Chains A and B, each alone.
Chain A
Amino acid sequence: MPLLRRLQRVPGRLSRQLVVLFFTLLSLFPVYFMLVSALKSKADYLANKFNLPPHPILDNFQTAFAGEKFLIRFANSAILTIGAVTASLVVACLAAYAFARMQFPGKRTLFNLMLSLMVVPPVVMVVPLFVTMVRFKLVNTYQGAILIYIGLLLPFSIYMMTNFFQTIPHEIVDAARIDGCSNLGVFTRILMPLSAPAVITLVVVNALWVWNELLIALIFLQRDEMKTLMVGIASMRSRIYVDIPATMAGLLVATIPIVVLYIFGQRYFIRGLIGGAVK
């Protein structure tokens, strides 16, 4: 009887496996397409768009790097990402410390207000921000764009760090305080070193967000030598003559940092991105 029941379950399991496999392959296909096309010559690409490259070549990367000021854009994206992620981390941790470990009037209201900013779409802020940035001559500067990114990253960052600081046992903090630690001392010597996993998670998620961001970069960094990688990519489609394999090589280089980071730090991505939704 158990064997029979197990056999009966086989078709069900198999069909489930097939369903999941189908959607997994679908998820992967664009990445596969990017990878194989980047290694094909134009003729090979036109002859067959699906197969593995019959004669793999690296020329496309050379073409991609040569055109479109690729390296400058890559550097711009990196500068913005590093700047915004670092600054927002410091500012967010300080604020989170106050939210998690201090009492002050209006704390709950302030925290909820900040939470609500977490899902405000950037698009509604770009018009007034642009008007303001023009007045302060911050359009087409790293500082201007980084400032906006910091603001947009802060709500989620403060939320996450507050939640994490609250999980650190009060006893540890109290012990440090008895040993004569000041508030700042508790923060820099106790809380921060204990928060490494949360900090890594936050850095990963925020870096991903800034690296991938298009709208702010498009509007606030319009001058050619200030453009980011994503803005460069977005403008590729509108060109009349398109070298698809070279474009794919460029896309691959823009995407690879994320994929590599994800493969090595999967749990940080998952924890960070679903952060707060599930405990």
Chain B
Amino acid sequence: MQHRKHEPWLYLAPALVMLLAVFGYPMVRLVILSLQRTQAGELGFVGLGNYELLFRDDVFLQAVRNNLKLLLTVPVTVGLALLLAVFLFERMLGWRLYRTTLFLPYLLPITAVGLVFSYIFQLSGVLNDFLHAVGLGVLAQDWLGSTTLALPTVMFVIIWKEVGFGVVLFLARLMSVEEELFDAARVDGANWWQLQRHITIPQLATVIEFFTVISVITVLSWVFGYVFVMTSGGPGNSTMVTELYVYLMGFRYNQMNLAAAVSVLLLLVTGIFIFLELRLRERSDLGVVS
């Protein structure tokens, strides 16, 4: 297409200005902030001092450990989504309605969902009422108020919300697979398990990888809403995560420089996965401009 040399840049300019304002400049600023500290009322460079301080802070280390524990939700989310997608793909009665409903949690605001779940899981909440009603009162727990159970409860809610995305993703991919592929395998006498192992899983491989990477990024850096609303990091920092740590340091305890150092670390870690995701996109021929 013919156009003057500068013309593309006219169309790109507004977007580039915005992206530089919201990502470019702040990223530079972030790195600088992370290397500074206010000492005796003056802001000065302290090298990696903030980072050293972080690794001696038990709360920060606890937050990192909790984010790593949250990774346990990833195989559950992926596996469950896979199972449900395969079932729905067999066109079971009412599969469209199931798909619609299973996807709903993914759309609802974490804030509202978190609040509802905190009423479900509180000591005199819905779950415990239910357990008492069916004679399983011994199982009743203070789900969000116990240091051992709070994190697993948060994990449950994360899985609850994220699974639907996987189901819809996998189902969409399965529906684009040639029907003959399945028919051929059935004619060859493949049973259900063989069908899944040799046709479904290989066909879904790239989408499974994609969803896994997205889920990892989610639990490492997009879970602020869950903990902020349901537990505020408690009890006793048992549900503290790095994002909440950034928020508290930066905006409650006025430790902007420490918060910046955590942000840099978080950016580096997610950077690895962002790179992975880009590679996956390229490999599956997506998002390529010609």
Q: Please give, as numbers and ranges, the residues of chain A lying within 8 Å of B264 by CB-CB distance.
A: 124
Residues of chain A whose beta carbon lies under 8 Å from any beta carbon of chain B: 12-13, 16-17, 19-21, 23-24, 26-28, 30-31, 33-34, 49-50, 90-92, 94-95, 97-104, 107-108, 110-112, 114-117, 119-121, 123-132, 147-148, 150-152, 154-155, 158-159, 162-163, 166, 173, 183, 208, 211-212, 214-215, 218-219, 230, 233-234, 236-238, 244, 247-248, 251, 254-255, 258-259, 262, 266, 269-270, 273-274, 276-279
Return chain A residues, CB-CB under 8 Å to B222. Answer: 121
B interface residues, Cβ below 8 angstroms from A: 1, 3, 5, 7-9, 11-12, 14-16, 18-19, 21-23, 25-27, 29-30, 33, 80, 83-84, 87-88, 90, 92-93, 98, 100-120, 125-126, 129-130, 160, 163-165, 168-169, 172-173, 176, 192, 207, 210-211, 214, 217, 221-222, 224-225, 228-229, 232, 243, 246-247, 250-251, 256, 259-260, 263-264, 266-267, 270, 273-275, 277-278, 281, 286-287, 289-290
**Contact of B119 (CB < 8 Å), options: A101, A124, A214, A244:** A244
- Residues of A near B109 (CB, < 8 A) are 211-212, 214, 230, 233, 254-255, 258
On whether A274 and B243 interact (CB within 8 A), knowing A104-B9, A150-B18, A255-B109, the answer reads: no
Q: How far is the CA of A251 from the CA of B110 in the complex (A)?
A: 11
- Partner among B106, B114, B172, B256 whose Cβ is within 8 Å of the Cβ of A127: B256
Q: Considering the chains assembled together, what is the distance between the CA atoms of A50 and B273 in angstroms?
A: 42
Closest chain-A Cβ to B163's Cβ sits at a distance in Å of 8
Cβ-defined contact, A31 with B247, below 8 A: no
**What are 23 A-to-B residue pairs whose CB atoms are below 8 Å?**
A24-B98, A31-B108, A33-B126, A91-B18, A108-B289, A119-B214, A119-B217, A120-B274, A123-B247, A124-B263, A126-B250, A127-B30, A166-B290, A214-B109, A215-B243, A230-B111, A234-B111, A234-B228, A247-B119, A254-B112, A270-B172, A273-B165, A274-B165
Q: How far is the CA of A214 from the CA of B103 in the complex (A)?
A: 21
A270: chain B residues at CB < 8 Å are 103, 168, 172
A102 touches B243 (CB 8 A): no
- Cβ 8 A contact of A214, one of B33, B111, B168: B111
Give the chain A neighbours of B103 by CB distance below 8 A: 269-270
Contact partners of B117 in chain A: CB under 8 A: 30
Contact B164 A27, beta carbon cutoff 8 Å = yes
CA gap between A148 and B228 in the complex, in Å = 21
Nearest A residue to B97, CB-CB: A24
Chain A residue numbers with a CB within 8 Å of B93 are 17
17 extra interface residue pairs, beta carbon distance < 8 Å, beyond A27-B104, A33-B119? A27-B102, A91-B14, A94-B11, A94-B15, A117-B19, A120-B274, A128-B25, A131-B29, A147-B18, A152-B22, A154-B19, A212-B111, A233-B112, A234-B228, A237-B229, A273-B165, A277-B210
